[in-house]
Amino acid sequence: MSEAGERVQGGGLGRRRTRRGAAGGEHARDLAFAVLSPLALLAVWEITVRVGVLDERFFPAPTSIVSTLVETIESGELLANTGISLRRMFLGMLVGGTPALLLGLVMGLYRPIRVAVDPLIAATYPIPKSAILPLLLLIFGLGEGSKIAMVAIGVFFPVAINTTAGVLEIDRIYHDVGKNYGAGRWQTFRTIALPGAMPLILTGVRLGFGIGLILIVIAEMVGAKSGLGYMIWNAWQIFQVEVMYVGLIVISVIGVLFTLVLSELERLLVPWRTAR
Amino acid sequence: MAETPGRTLQEATEEGTGQGGQDRKIQVDNLTKQFRTKEGPLTALDRLSFGVEKGKFFMVVGPSGCGKSTLLRLLAGLEEPSSGSIRVAPGPPGKPANSMVFQQESIFPWMNVWDNAAYGLRMRGVPKREIREVVGEYLEKTGLTRFARAYPHQLSGGMKQRVALARAFANDPDIMLMDEPFSSLDEQNKTLLQEELLRIWDESAKTVLFITHSVDEAVTLGDQILLMTANPGRIKALIDVPFERPRSVMELRARPEYGSLVYQIWESLREEVEQARQKEVPR
């Protein structure tokens, strides 16, 4: 009896799937390829290490990396370091991104400000942010301040530059509409500049996050006793190669998760672009 | 300086400029607009004078380059005149002086239909309940109720201009300024929207200043037609359209008087169009 019921249900699911048609099938196949290719790579890696083609000291087998991953999770070391790095990232993005957003909007809307600030940005932007780290350590010390400042500086530039470009990209007609319909300064900000620039603002945030991630790792390697960067650097010093790989994996997972979060955010904030 | 060929055009408008009584909504006197270009000053509008009566559907027709869009932007306050004056009789307090319907796509792509239509009211801080009522009413009138939550990229060109109309009418301005709002639409959509516009306007009794390059559109919609010349923009003639209201677009077009009025206007425009073509310089 229950078997029959299940079968009916199964049939229903099957029909629903076929109704979606060819696009659904194609999607499933794409997904399969996307999952299979990294798995195949891992299998090749594992085998070549086991048969001794790859040097285990530099390329430990995936299975031993996984067991180290489990160990570091159980000891609490990994989660603590990940949490600390994420917190620094988050605060840095907030501290750097918020003024960058405001500055970008103002620069996009008001030409005199743009003309005045542009050369400053042009002059400071090319400096490799990692080169500022010693200065930041000097100013903020070895504590959280220097790490957060590092991320903040990395996030600031792409967000400010992209926000400015985003506002400038808004067609003049929308400013005319705002003027004709009596939008004040703040209303122009909120109803025209911010939503109009949003697609590029999000691009800036995405770029800023990538730069921030690089910088936080560097900062933690040089001047910290915690965080993922520290964990990787420390693993190199005591030659725990597996832990280095664990650190790399976690960083890449953070990157992927952030990309997912951001595209979800994009769907919410820019429905007029992504719904296309 | 004053004895330019423009003289005859002045004459044509003499009755139009005759100091009207209280019914005059807009009074334009000697309005001139010059733009600075690399090749020196370019006169877009040259000593324009005319008046628009309250509650009239006033059409401005001319070839491209006659500065008619500039005229509308001046009236909307988006540009400043080089000389001359625009006087607008004050409307009821609390109402916006004018709302513009633009030629290009002008509804915000980042707002759905409802938010677009509500824009003017929100900017003026109208109470939420009133906004809901008014916007609902004009979406209904423009047939957009079902699309209230749609974003502009999901709409056709005709639908987008309906949203622009709804936004302008919902704002309840004293004067409606329309800058070739239907010029990018196909013939069928254009006729439909003209019908809808006439219907909504009949109920609202607003003063409308409508710019077009289409003589047909001018005769179909207008009470009065101001014919303009190009390079520089001057007034050629002011023509009264004798057809009664309410009008039906298709019925009107079937009438012989309609055809002869269109022909008459075309004749006087023809030389202007040809002159404009000769003066055209590659940009």
Which residue(s) pair with B87 in the sheet? Answer: B27
pLDDT above 80 for B16: no
- At B211, give phi and psi (nearest 5°): -105, 135
Is the CB of B100 less than 8 angstroms away from the CB of A271?
A: no
Q: What span, in angstroms and rounded, lies between the C-alpha atoms of B171 and B117?
A: 8
- Do A18 and A128 fall into the same domain? no
Q: How many domains, chain A?
A: 2
CA distances (Å), origin B144, targets A11, B56, B167, B179: 41, 27, 12, 22
Last residue within a domain, chosen from A10, A35, A54: A54
Q: What was the pLDDT predicted at B280?
A: 67
d(CA B49, CA B27): 8
Residue numbers in B near A180 (CB within 8 A): 76-78, 98-100
Do A9 and A145 belong to one domain?
no
Question: Looking at CA atoms only, how far is residue B85 from chain A in angstroms?
Answer: 19
Secondary structure element (H or E) that encloses residue B98, with its range = strand B98-101
A173 vs B: CB within 8 A: yes
- Per DSSP bridges, beta strands B24-37 and B40-53 are antiparallel
Q: Is the distance from CB of A111 to CB of A105 less than 8 angstroms?
A: no
pLDDT at residue A273 greater than cutoff 50: yes
> Do A39 and A121 belong together in one domain?
no
Which residues in chain B (222-251) have CB-CB distances under 8 A to chain A? none
Q: Which residues of chain A neighbour B171 with C-beta distances below 8 Å? A: 181
CA distance B196 to chain A (A): 22
- Regarding whether A125 and A36 lie in a shared domain, the answer is no
Q: Which chain B residue is nearest to residue A199, measuring alpha carbons?
A: B110
The structure tokens listed for B206 are 């607003």
Q: Are A117 and A191 members of one domain?
A: yes
Which of A179, A272, A276 is closest, CB to CB, to B110?
A272
> How many C-beta atoms lie closer than 10 Å to residue B6's C-beta?
16
Q: Is residue A19 part of a domain?
A: yes
Q: Minimal Cα distance from A272: which residue of B?
A: B110
Residue of A nearest to B76 (CA): A180
Q: Which residues of chain B make contact with A179, given a CB cutoff of 8 A?
A: 77-78
Contact B164, B101 (CB under 8 A): yes
- Interchain pair B123, A183: CB under 8 A: yes
Q: What secondary structure letter does DSSP report for A267?
A: H
* Whether residue A127 is found in the same domain as residue A7: no
Q: How far is A208 from chain B (nearest CA, A)?
A: 24
Closest residue in chain A to residue B119, using alpha carbons only: A181
Distance CA B48, CA B9 (A): 10
Q: Are A99 and A92 in contact (CB under 8 A)?
A: no
When pLDDT is averaged across residues B240-263 and rounded to a whole number, the result is 92
B22: confidence class by pLDDT, cuts 50, 70, 90: low
Rounded to a whole number, what is the largest CA-CA distance in chain A? 79
Cβ of residue B6 closer than 8 Å to a chain A Cβ: no
Taking only Cα atoms into account, the Rg of chain A, rounded to an integer number of angstroms, comes to: 25
Q: Are residues A136 and A240 in the same domain?
A: yes
Interchain contact, A181 vs B119, CB within 8 Å: yes
For chain A, the distance separating the N- and C-terminal CA atoms, rounded to the nearest angstrom, is 46
Query: Which residues on B lie below 8 Å from A173 (Cβ)?
Result: 102, 104-106
Quick check: A182 and B105 CB within 8 A?
no
Q: What is the pLDDT of residue B39?
A: 87
CA–centroid distance for B29 within its chain: 18
Query: What would the two tokens of residue A50 be?
Result: 């086991």
Name the residue in chain A with its Cα closest to that of B103: A173
- Residue B19 pLDDT > 70: no
Q: Does B150 reach chain A within 8 Å, measured CB to CB?
A: no
Provide the chain B residues 47-76 that lie in CB contact (below 8 A) with chain A. 76
β-strands B175-179, B40-53 pairing: unpaired
Per-residue model confidence as pLDDT tens digits over A139-162: 998 889 999 999 999 999 999 999
* The predicted structure's pLDDT at residue A23: 62
State whether A275 and B124 contact (CB < 8 Å): no
Cβ distance of B108 and A195 shorter than 8 Å:
yes
CB B106 within 8 A of CB B168: no
Rounded CA separation A264/A162 (Å): 20
**Both A36 and A160 in a single domain?**
no
* Cβ contact B224:B241 at 8 Å: yes
Q: What is the pLDDT at residue B91?
A: 86
Q: Interior CA angle at A32 toward A29 and A37, to 5°?
A: 125
- Is B90:B26 a contact under the CB 8 Å cutoff? no
A16 token code pair: 């629903």
For residues B62 and B68, give the distance between their C-alpha atoms in angstroms, rounded to a whole number: 7
Is position A59 within any domain?
Answer: no
Q: Which residue of A has its CA nearest to B169?
A: A181
Rounded to whole angstroms, the Cα distance separating B227 from B68 reads: 10
**B173 to chain A: which residues are within 8 Å by CB?**
none
**Strand B83-88 and strand B24-37: pairing?**
antiparallel
Q: Which of residues 183-242 of A touch B (CB under 8 A)?
A: 183-184, 187, 191-192, 195-196, 198
Query: In terms of DSSP H, where are the helices of chain B?
Result: 6-17, 68-76, 113-117, 119-123, 128-141, 157-170, 187-204, 215-221, 249-253, 256-279
pLDDT digit string (tens) for B144-188?
A: 999 999 999 999 999 999 999 999 999 999 999 999 999 989 999
Q: What is the CATH number of the domain that holds A251?
A: 1.10.3720.10
Supply the mean pLDDT for chain A: 89
Angle at B187 (CA atoms; ends B182, B191), nearest 5 degrees: 70
Q: Give the number of other CB atoms < 10 A from CB of residue B40.
A: 7
The per-residue pLDDT for A24 is 67
Q: Model ipTM?
A: 0.85
CA distance A105 to A170: 12
B-chain residues near A171 (CB < 8 A)? 104
Model confidence over A221-255: pLDDT tens digits?
A: 998 899 999 999 999 999 999 999 999 999 999 99
| CB contacts, 8 Å: A191 with chain B | 108, 111, 119, 123
Question: What is the residue type of B91?
Answer: G
In chain B, residues with a C-beta closer than 8 Å to the C-beta of A195 are 108, 110-111
Number of inter-chain CB pairs under 8 A, A vs B: 62
Tokens of B110: 């980042």
A106 and A13, same structural domain? no
| Structure-token pair, residue B169 | 């009418």
Q: A276: which chain B residues are within 8 Å (Cβ-Cβ)?
A: 153
Q: Is A247 in contact with A232 (CB distance < 8 Å)?
A: yes
The domain in which residue A29 lies consists of 2-54
In a domain? residue A247: yes
Token code pair at residue B14: 């003499």
Residues from chain A contacting residue B123 (CB–CB below 8 Å): 178, 181-184, 187, 191
Q: Say what percent of chain A tops pLDDT 90.
A: 79
pLDDT computed for residue A276 by the predictor: 44
Q: What is the structure's pLDDT at A158?
A: 97
CA distance B168 to B99: 6
Please indicate, yes or no, whether residues A41 and A144 belong to a single structural domain of this protein: no
